[in-house]
Chains A and B, each alone.
Chain A
Amino acid sequence: MKPYHRFRHLTILTLAAMTWLAGRAIGQTPGAGDEGKRPPARVFIDSPMIPVAVLEKGLSFLAPVRSPAEAQVIVEIAPPRPGGEPVLTIKITGSGEFAGIADSLTVPAPPGRPPDELEREVLRVLRLALLRFATKTSAASRLSVGFEDTVKPTAVSDPWHFWVFNLGVSGFLNGEEVYRSRMLSGSFSAQKVTPDWKIRFGASISSSKDAYDVEDYHYESSSESRSATGLVVRSLDDHWSAGVLLQLGSSTYNNTAFRLAPQAALEYDLFRYSESTRRQLRFLYAIGPTRIRYREETIYDKTRETLWSHMLSATLEVKQPWGTVSTSLSGSQYFHDLSRNRLSLDANVSLRIFEGFNFNINGGGSRIHDQLFLSKGGASLEEVLLQRRQLETAYDYYFSVGINFTFGSTRSNVVNPRFGSGSGGISMSFSM
């Protein structure tokens, strides 16, 4: 035990030394991240036809200079060539730190076009074409681009009429001396999403297998699931939608050999759907029958049954400067026995209490009285520990809470890639 106190000491000493070294390392070289401090780009305009003063006034996000030698950006506006196309040619050349940037544009200048109209047009084109220089200087922070027209997103020429098809396969295998696992999956989907319709059909199949081998103990488990889903939604107005849902599938986890559940549904959004990226509060009601066949006889002595049920859910999603809220409350119930029901709440909230201090909570819980599929045979110890079977329960919950406080030099834009920056992890996600 004793020698390790010495090492702890060493740790603290080394820390102190590192901190001291860091304090001395000043006089850094400027690098990326300093764009916000660069003064506006110096521009020189050569225009025999249009008064330079007019153009300079319109280009307020650049700094005009009197000679090409001082300039970082040179703009040359040439009049139509005799006998050539009746166009003005605008040539833009970067130099110094903008060296290598070159651009060329034309503005129609038919004989008889009023000079003031031509002037406005050249200035309009120049302002947009020269923006790329402003994005690399402090001027970027005060500029904003506007587009006031509303235009339908479907105003394109599309021979496929917005249908998109996807086929995918994926696999993951891993192992070591005492453990092996394998996961394979395949999927197909066809979808069409327009402002009026949302149609999606998908099918997927996946199988997984795990095996443990420790001395004379050997255990293998596998699971398989197949599913198909369908969704057709018709937009009624900016608050209402109607749709049909279909689920078809099988799962070892849920003791289900075959399940078919078509549902009719109606949705109401308290806010307008067009505000969906900022806030939505959607109420969804669905009703329909479920046809189900079990793998093993259930604790209610059933091997197959057809049941009617309905469900109601409320989903709130808000993304504002103070944080993000995403919560959903849903309840469902079987009609043959109203006490067979389930109530679930899910919440994901991330809030900024004050600058630098964030709070987040992420969780969910259910009151469960509808596990009609539980098998009489029960589960083995391995199935319990590896979570291969859903177990009997009247509730489940999970939640995580976190706080984070960051302070200090929180506006530094330096990126230092030395010795890497990641945590070295890898994560994968497949959605089907």
Chain B
Amino acid sequence: MRRFPRVLAAPAAGVLLFLGALGGLRAQAPPPPQTADIEALKKTAPRVFLDCSSCDLEFIKTEITFINYVRDRNEAQVHILVTSSETASGGREYTLTFLGQNEFKGINDTVHYYSAATFTEDEIRKGLVRILKLGLMTYVVRTPIASRISLRDEGPPAGPAGGTDKWRSWVFSVSSQGYFRGERSVGGSSWGMNVSANKITTDIKLRLGFTADFTRDRYEYEGTTYRSRRESYDFSGLFVKAVNDHWSIGFALAADSSIYSNLKFRVAPAPAVEYNIFPYSKYARRQLRLLYKLQFEAVSYHEETIYLKTQEKLFSESLSATLDLREKWGTITIVGSGSHYFHDFSKYNLNFFGVIQLNLLKGFNVYAGGGGGRVHDQLSLRRSGASLQEILLQQRQMASSYNYFVLFGLSYTFGSIYTNVVNPRFGSIGGGGMSIIIN
């Protein structure tokens, strides 16, 4: 998950850098406190920009009070960039990149925090606070407020650490969701279930999953009741073997069925190979992956298609490129992909998607994105036409040779740079922010 950090570079940076250089990065460790006024110490505490969308910021601000929180990256002495990735066990790895700026330029650090899939929100936020406090000490020790910090060491644990994993890295998950809504003239329900089994190590990745979804809707209009129904089943399997820090080979298998797409049953095995221009080990900050897939498909349709088929066997190939960059000045995500069928090269599909979020000027956040596709491979379209309500309720896939979207946003914030205060009265208020989440 990413959120637009509130950020950016400032003209005053040069002056501060110069002062920082004079100080030679050598912190004058503060004299013993005793009589020191705590409010005076707080004024000189490190200014921190916490760049984290998935964090419980109010909790962090309540728990860590020995720093000053600022809303602009450029005002900060420490920019903490928090990224997270899913771990093999379904938990998350949080990578906290501490970037020293201004007076602390050149002092950088990276620490990790791991949450298990079984953790609750409260356990996750407490764990993050603990590791944040430890990581901040590198900077706090350079400011007078360090004299008020205590460090407790509980000593080594009694028993031997770790143990053997009797599950051999296998993680299983079963989940089910139901959703219901209604009022006098509109109603609907949906129900879904998901079963998955994953085994992920640094060397291999094996994912097996099955999902079923059922949706029903009801609309009443002038005495007539309109009903719609959708059903889909989806099985997917993926096996990936690491070759080296840039190459991987794999095999994907999909089997699905969907009323929306007119698929009665489809099975599609596909061997694949992937090359990452950056080393895989840099995943938290940057990747540029090229994935080539060769796919066989055997399909049967619910209704005869516009090409007069009720079933067919197809071969296709696809290539996709995914770029992900997470820097302190912003993030870039670009995905491009193309595929075509071998029996008829005019049946192809091209897709592009990109989002850029930038924090280049003080107070200014900009994002822009867009995507589009040329679609010439809708082999499963029904021959029979769709009704008006099927179109408006998006109950079935429609013929379209293209699609596109464009999004943009601009936000300018000025005024107080400090965001230390947590005031829960009358509930939380939105700060007028915007966020984009890319999975």
Contact = CB atoms under 8 A, between A and B. Distances in A.
A202 B276 CA distance: 46
Give the one of B130, B199, B206, B432 with max A CB within 10 A.
B432
Nearest to A361: B178
Given A194-B423, A400-B180, A321 B120 contact: yes
Contact of B426 (A60, A121, A231, A395): A231
B200 A416 contact: yes
Contacts of B343: none
Nearest to A153: B420
B130 A35 contact: no
A324 B120 contact: yes
B219 interface: yes
Contacts of A10: 267, 269
Interface in A3-18: 3-4, 7-8, 10-11, 14-15, 18
B380 interface: no
A402 to B, nearest CB: 4
Size range of the chain B interface in the assembly: 35 or more
B426 A267 contact: yes
Contact of B409 (A170, A269, A396): A170
Interface in B39-98: 39, 41-43, 56, 58-59, 61-66, 68, 71, 85-91, 93
Nearest to B333: A426
Contact of A170 (B58, B265, B407, B422): B407
Nearest to B135: A135
A18 B62 contact: no
Interface string A169-199: 1111111111100000001111111110010
A276 interface: yes
A273 B67 CA distance: 22
A25 B133 CA distance: 38
Contacts of B223: none
Contact of A171 (B204, B402, B406, B433): B406
The A interface is mostly helix, strand or loop, or mixed, namely mixed
Contact of A427 (B118, B130, B183, B437): B437
Interface string A119-148: 001001101110110111011111111111
Given A132-B109, A145-B134, A267-B425, A33 B87 contact: yes
Contact of A121 (B32, B186, B355): B32
A31 B183 contact: no
Contact of B431 (A108, A189, A422, A423): A189
Interface stretch (A299-307, A331-339, A377-385): A377-385
Given A32-B112, A171-B407, A431-B432, A405 B152 contact: no
Given A405-B174, A409-B165, A417 B116 contact: no
A178 B87 contact: no
Contacts of A235: 423, 425
A388 to B, nearest CB: 11
B329 interface: no
B148 A241 contact: no
A384 B177 CA distance: 27
Nearest first, the 3 A-B pairs at minimum CB distance are A276-B424, A153-B420, A174-B405
29 contacts: A27-B203, A103-B138, A125-B146, A128-B146, A129-B137, A136-B111, A138-B161, A140-B111, A145-B133, A149-B148, A154-B420, A156-B420, A158-B418, A168-B411, A168-B432, A214-B386, A319-B59, A319-B122, A323-B122, A385-B221, A395-B184, A405-B174, A406-B117, A409-B199, A410-B89, A410-B116, A417-B283, A421-B85, A432-B430
